[in-house]
Amino acid sequence: MKTIIFSRFFLGGLFLILGGICLYEAYTAEIIFSTDALGAMDYPKVLLFAWLLLAVVYLVVPRPRFDPKELFVAAPVLLKTIVNSIVFVLLLPRIGFICSSFIFISVLFYHLGDKNYQRIGLISIVSVVGLWIIFEFVLRTPLPLGFWEEILHPAP
């Protein structure tokens, strides 16, 4: 039991230290190529704060002991998720963030066992629109539009 607790604290502490170092570097780095009010390093800072929060949750929240046999039960779903992720990465530059993310989330929920198509569609739409709003308006990070780029922003 002590090795489980020790390894959890060791791993959680390691994540906290690495996240802290990266966050320090994100705050002290000089950004000479960006003049935006929301600089180029703000997005990594948001991710690093999330990293640190999850490391603290990992340290604080108790969980049952890991059973390696569970990996064999989850292997088919894990394989489908990996294939779905690869397809998402391949589709992203071609059909854009909105379409590829909708397909990714819908297929992922289906593979995870949800057969209620209305709920899958609603969750997919809300998730994609929410992520798009966060990236476009909060983080001011443009997302790939794929073939929609020519339709939404035609060349003069």
Predicted confidence (pLDDT) per residue in 89-119, tens digit: 999 888 988 899 999 999 999 998 888 999 9
Whether residues 78 and 98 fall in one domain:
yes
Q: Looking at the structure, tell me whether residues 130 and 60 fall in a common domain.
A: no
d(CA 49, CA 40): 16
pLDDT of residue 122: 95
* Pairwise CA distance, residues 109 & 79, whole Å: 14
Residues 71 and 145 in one domain: yes
> What is the count of structural domains for the chain?
2
Residue 68 clears pLDDT 90, i.e. is over it: no
Residues 83 and 141 in one domain: yes
pLDDT band at 130 (very low <50, low <70, confident <90, very high): very high
Domain assignment of residue 9, given as a range: 1-66
pLDDT of residue 32: 63
Residues 37, 90 share a domain? no
pLDDT of 35 reads 59
Task: For residue 28, name the pLDDT band (cuts at 50, 70, 90).
Answer: confident
User: What is the rounded distance in angstroms from the CA atom of residue 139 to the CA atom of residue 46?
Assistant: 9
Instruction: From 11, 42, 66, give the residue that closes a domain.
Output: 66
Does 81 lie in the same domain as 4? no
The pLDDT, as a whole number, for residue 61 is 86
Residue type, 45: K
The 8 Å CB, 24+ separation contacts for 128-132 are 128/97, 128/98, 128/101, 128/102, 131/97, 131/101, 132/97, 132/98
pLDDT of residue 1: 46
- Could you give phi then psi for residue 124, rounded to 5 degrees? -65, -45
Q: What is the DSSP letter of 127?
A: H
Residues 87 and 146 in one domain: yes
Is residue 141 domain-shared with residue 76, that is, in the same domain? yes
